[in-house]
Amino acid sequence: MSGRSGSVSVPVLILLVTLSLLGGGLVLLSQGLTGLLARSRERLTGRNELLSAAEQATAAFCSGKAYGPDSPLDPVFAEVRGTGGFDVVLEDISSFIGINWARKGLLEETGLLLEGARSADALQQHREDTGLHMDIQQSYGRFFRAGVRLDEVFTAYSGFNINVADEFALRKLYAVRTGDAAKAELFHVKVHNYRLQTEEKEWIQPERLEVFLGTDFEVLFPVVTAVPPINVNFAPSAVLEAVLAACGVSDAEQKIRSLEQARDSRPLNTKALEFIMGDDYQETPVGQYLGATTWFWRLQVSGAAGRLVWILARLPDEQTELVRLRLIEERYSP
């Protein structure tokens, strides 16, 4: 170029080009941030809609639930299903065998262990060494035969009924909750001695649990209970078979058929369960395993914004006519 006023030096030209590119980059970055913020707002709005539907579904269940046994025949499930225009599913997740508290005999009666009693011993030792676990398949899968769907028989969402839970699992639970191995052993000895003295024929009743636990009540309740953890109205056949076999119930096959036929036509309460079980209800531990209340529910709300999962718990001391559930876990996936 001729003339000083129209000339542009090479360094200045490079700077202008760089600034131009940088400016374009800033525009693109700004546009990207705007899109990201918009998507974040949409995701937040969608999640809030799912949360609102979950709250409505829980409120509908609690207000519409008739006092008495929990049963899939309860019409409140149909009311909950279409809450807020979302796909809503409420399902029992506690009416299985508690993998973290099951005694060796009950584990063996499932017929699913890899090597029978040896695997039951190994699983018990695994709980002692590593603690209690929520991820059933990952933590316990190696003790069972290949291809077994453990979630169809076992659950990690379950209270520990002090009358039938494995005494070593109770000791481990105490240690986990307190960090005090010495006190955990004292608690274990207390449970062990009570079972020996009563020959496991005098069950600790719910109203006497606090007396038996004493100062440990605040530490252990409501994880440790004195109520049956499995709802007979929801329990799969495999669970009923294992429980009745482990309890030594007579004519177990016939009684399971009677239970399943009866619960298909009406919700079973504890009186119906006692009638079907006959003398075995009092003379075996079956009534300590099987009841008519569901203690843990999984609520799933699905829609265009994703899926929200709530784990809800019912506290065993709330014997009111109004069902009240406590949110203990939440998962959201867009």
- The 10 Å Cβ neighbour count of residue 310 is 23
The predicted pLDDT at position 1 comes to 46
Which helix H or strand E contains 8, and what residues bound it?
none
Rounded to whole angstroms, the Cα distance separating 85 from 245 reads 44
What is the DSSP secondary structure assignment for residue 206, as one 8-state letter? G
Q: CA-to-CA distance for 208 and 93, rounded, in angstroms?
A: 27
**What are 15's two structure tokens?**
């700077």
CB neighbourhood size of 92 (10 A): 21
Q: Are strands 296-303 and 306-313 parallel, antiparallel or unpaired?
A: antiparallel
Q: Please count the CA atoms within 13 angstroms of the CA of 332 that sit on its side-chain side.
A: 13
Concatenated DSSP letters for 39-104? HHHHHHHHHHHHHHHHHHHHHHHHHHPPSS---TT-THHHHHHTGGGSEEEEEE-SSSEETTT--H
Taking the C-alpha atoms of residue 110 and residue 102, their distance in angstroms, rounded to an integer, is: 11
Residue closest to 135 by CA, chosen among 159, 151, 114: 151
Give me 18's structure tokens: 């760089």
Q: Using only C-alpha atoms, what is the Rg of the chain? A: 28
Residues in the chain: 334
Q: Which of 220, 243, 232 is nearest to 317 (CA)?
A: 220
Supply the DSSP string of 142-164, one letter for each residue: GGB-TT--GGGTEES---EETTT
The residue type at 9: S
Strand arrangement of the beta sheet that strand 296-303 belongs to: 87-92, 296-303, 306-313, 326-333
Local confidence pLDDT in tens for the 334 residues of the chain: 444 444 455 555 555 555 455 555 555 555 555 454 444 555 567 789 999 999 999 999 988 777 789 999 999 888 888 788 899 999 999 999 999 999 999 999 999 999 877 899 999 999 999 999 999 999 999 999 999 999 999 999 999 999 999 999 999 999 999 999 999 999 999 999 999 999 999 999 999 999 999 999 999 999 999 999 999 999 999 999 999 999 999 999 999 999 999 999 999 999 999 999 999 999 999 999 999 999 999 999 999 889 999 999 998 876 566 788 999 999 999 9
Predicted confidence (pLDDT) per residue in 127-139, tens digit: 999 999 999 999 9
Model pTM?
A: 0.86
